[in-house]
Amino acid sequence: MNLITGMYISLFPVIFAGSANMLFCKLPILDALRHPLDNRQVWKDKERIFGDNKTWKGLFGMILFSCVATVLWGLLCARVPYMNSNNFLYYRHENTWLFNLGVGFFLGLAYALFELPNSFMKRRLRVEPGKRIGGVKGVILVILDQSDSIIGCVLVIAFLYPLTPLIFLLYVCVGAATHIVVNMLLFALKLRKNMF
């Protein structure tokens, strides 16, 4: 149970940052950054590389919120010994604001970048941004949607905490399941257009 608790304690800032970033991307703030990462360029198949949903605003927001959340969470962990001792980030490193800022940057960056291959694949399959398809391909894409960013974040954790392959896989599964629950909540709050 401590392992699962440690997983949540370690990645809570990213869970919060992902939700905050979704709200940020919907608000009319810094809309100059709402430019697509692919600069509206097309691939060899004449389809967009990533599509309109992957923007500089989303990348900037994810990194910003992850940095802020990781620093603030570190301050809270420092006051609660149980949280501090069960946070994988502090297994080999001291809980300092500068360390947390750096980890927050890499967690936010990994979260955003690891979503891009999935978007690239969807464009190759001609799936409209924000839409789903049926069949086996649709199921695979839903699984990838819920786990791609988590894989990136767990890779960052793996540089700080000794994860075995089995624990790595468990972490991704727990993260993906949490992603689904958070998406359902955001859908219920009308912050997402679809549940998955």
Residue 195 pLDDT grade (very low, low, confident, very high; cuts 50, 70, 90): low
**Proportion of the chain above pLDDT 70, given as a percent:** 95
pTM: 0.89
Determine the average pLDDT of the residues in 45-68: 95
Per-domain residue ranges of the chain: 2-188
Residue 72 pLDDT grade (very low, low, confident, very high; cuts 50, 70, 90): very high
The whole-angstrom separation of Cα 161 and Cα 128 is 38
Q: What is the pLDDT of residue 56?
A: 97
